[in-house]
């Protein structure tokens, strides 16, 4: 028995009617194992006629030699439920889709995502390959987590809506995202390159990104990120300020891209110490960690340290006290947390977060 050219090849076909089933029938004739996936009610071509022992002659002719299955997916013994509906005809410019996911807290999807709470997600939309519009929703534990509008028009993808992750976060991430995040964006995909703009904002922070990334070459294309911190206390309890803005750019191969950053603020205040007209900036090239990041840091004036201390700081050799000040600030924070926790056994390990250490370094650098 001769070996057919496509023997050993497995083809999974989401198809119906005549055109696509006819194409995959030729693959089956050439030896491929073709698995035809039908909706629960079956391919509507089954009802064209009853000429072949009660079956449609069209269906029997173009689906010969195939395996056929209908999916009504249910996981975890009746837990997770996933339903996908797709009606796609490129030649007629038709593209309708629907996805419904319902999963209990102990289901497979929550376990895979690490959320460990009930998930309900829905995506629906209709239109064509040139113009399409739809919606996406996500509920966690019965609470709205995302409400998004999705669209495609003449090759441009559009996104808009709201996210509400604050109910499921803690600490600074909860404060920064509360009460909701507004999302808007648009972009294009050409080959494996993505290019566009994205904006996200909450009551505490506002961010905008533009530029692109080429997945084929792993290369940034003039990627630019701007962040405005509208409520500094949402990031750190003891941080206050005005007009705090970070600008970051990346361009070139991902592993060694050129970068530049600039942090500016009209005023920054940590506890009782304040800095006016702050500017921190640098530029370089990405490299493996540990990576040296150039820093040029200036402030017009410092308040809250007293006149005599201010004069000493202004006249001392440049940078002489940064190391002891940084050690004193870090260990003071550790001691404060230990005092709050108490000394009774068993005691938990006390840590100072990396963002707090970076801001402590910024503060000590400004006091050079």
Greater model confidence, 150 or 167: 150
Q: How far apart are CA 4 and CA 2, in angstroms?
A: 6
Residue 263 is assigned to a structural domain of this protein: no
CA pair distance 270, 274, nearest whole angstrom: 6
In a domain, 279, yes or no: no
Neighbours of 69 (CB within 10 A): 9
Determine, yes or no, domain membership for 4: yes
> Which one of 45, 71, 97 terminates a domain?
71
pLDDT grade for 91, boundaries at 50, 70 and 90:
low
pLDDT at 76: 45
Answer yes or no: is pLDDT of 183 > 90. yes
| pLDDT over 70 (residue 78) | no
pLDDT at site 113: 78
329, part of any domain: yes
Residue 104 main-chain phi, psi, to 5 deg = -75, 170
Residues contacting 245, CB < 8 A, separation 6+ = 226, 227, 228, 229, 263, 264, 265
Q: Which residue has the higher pLDDT, 41 or 173?
A: 173
Give 135's pLDDT tier (boundaries 50, 70, 90): very high
- The answer to whether position 125 is within a domain reads no
Task: Say whether pLDDT at 132 is over 50.
Answer: yes
> Can you tell me which residue has the tokens 């006629």?
49
Do 109 and 91 touch, CB atoms closer than 8 A?
A: no
**Is residue 35, in this structure, part of any structural domain at all?**
yes
Per-residue pLDDT, averaged over 145-167, amounts to: 90
- At which of 53, 71, 89 does a domain end? 71
Q: What is the average pLDDT across 177-197?
A: 92
Mean pLDDT to the nearest integer, 139-152: 91
Whether residue 236 is predicted with pLDDT greater than 80 in this model: the reply is yes
Flag whether pLDDT at 354 surpasses 80.
no
Is 318 or 44 the better-scoring residue by pLDDT?
44
Residue 50 has a pLDDT of: 75
Write out pLDDT tens, residues 330-349: 777 777 777 777 777 777 77
Confidence of residue 328 (pLDDT cuts 50, 70, 90): low
**What are φ and ψ of residue 108, in 5° steps?**
-70, -45
Q: Which residue has tokens 């996500």? A: 138
pLDDT one-digit tens code per residue, 204-213: 999 999 999 9
According to the model, what pLDDT value does residue 362 have? 67
State which of 54, 71, 88 marks the end of a domain. 71
Boundaries of domain holding 335: 320-368
Tell me how many domains the chain contains. Answer: 2
Q: What confidence tier does 72 reach under pLDDT thresholds 50, 70, 90?
A: low
- Asked if residue 59 belongs to a domain, the reply is yes
Q: C-alpha distances in angstroms, 366 versus 239, 303, 307, 356? A: 15, 11, 16, 15
pLDDT at 61: 77
Short-list 298, 269, 302, CA closest to 281: 298
| Percent residues over pLDDT 70 in the chain | 82
**Does residue 185 have a pLDDT over 90?**
yes
Please give the mean pLDDT across all residues of the chain.
81
Does 201 score more than 80 pLDDT?
yes
| pLDDT of residue 86 exceeding 70 | no
- Residue 152 counted as domain residue: no
Query: Given a cut of 90, is residue 230 above it in pLDDT?
Result: yes
- What integer is the mean pLDDT of 127-148? 89
Pairing of strands 193-201, 219-229: unpaired
């Amino acid at each position: 028995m001769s070996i057919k050219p496509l023997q050993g090849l497995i083809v999974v076909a989401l198809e119906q009617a005549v055109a696509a089933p006819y194409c995959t029938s030729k693959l089956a004739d050439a030896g491929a194992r073709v698995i035809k996936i039908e909706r629960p009610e079956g391919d509507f071509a089954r009802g064209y006629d009853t000429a072949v022992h009660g079956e449609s002659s069209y269906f029997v002719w173009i689906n010969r030699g195939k395996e056929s299955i209908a999916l009504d997916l249910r996981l975890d013994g009746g837990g997770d439920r996933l339903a996908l509906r797709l009606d796609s005809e490129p030649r007629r410019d038709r593209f309708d889709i629907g996805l419904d996911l319902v999963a209990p807290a102990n289901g497979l999807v929550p376990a895979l995502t690490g959320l460990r709470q009930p998930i309900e997600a829905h995506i629906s939309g209709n239109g064509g390959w040139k113009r399409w519009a739809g919606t996406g929703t996500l509920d966690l534990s019965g609470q709205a987590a995302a409400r998004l509008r999705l669209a495609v028009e003449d090759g441009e993808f559009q996104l808009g809506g709201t996210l509400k992750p604050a109910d499921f976060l803690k600490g600074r991430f909860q404060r920064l995202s509360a009460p909701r995040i507004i999302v808007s964006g648009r972009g294009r995909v050409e080959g494996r390159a993505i290019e566009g703009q994205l904006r996200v904002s909450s009551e505490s922070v506002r961010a905008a990104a533009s530029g692109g990334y080429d997945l084929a070459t792993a290369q940034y294309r003039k990627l630019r990120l701007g962040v405005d911190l509208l409520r500094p206390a949402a990031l750190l309890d003891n941080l206050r300020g005005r007009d705090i803005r970070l600008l970051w750019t990346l361009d070139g191969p991902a592993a060694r891209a050129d970068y530049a950053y600039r942090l500016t603020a009209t005023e920054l205040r940590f506890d009782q110490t304040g800095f006016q007209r702050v500017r921190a900036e640098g530029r370089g090239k990405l490299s493996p960690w540990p990576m040296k990041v150039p820093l040029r840091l200036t402030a017009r004036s410092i308040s809250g340290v007293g006149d005599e201390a201010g004069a000493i700081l202004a006249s001392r050799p440049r940078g002489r006290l940064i190391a002891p000040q940084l050690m004193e600030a870090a260990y003071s924070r550790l001691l404060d947390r230990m005092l709050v926790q108490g000394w009774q056994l068993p005691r938990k390990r006390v840590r100072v977060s990396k963002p707090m250490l970076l801001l402590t370094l910024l503060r000590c650098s400004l006091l050079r």
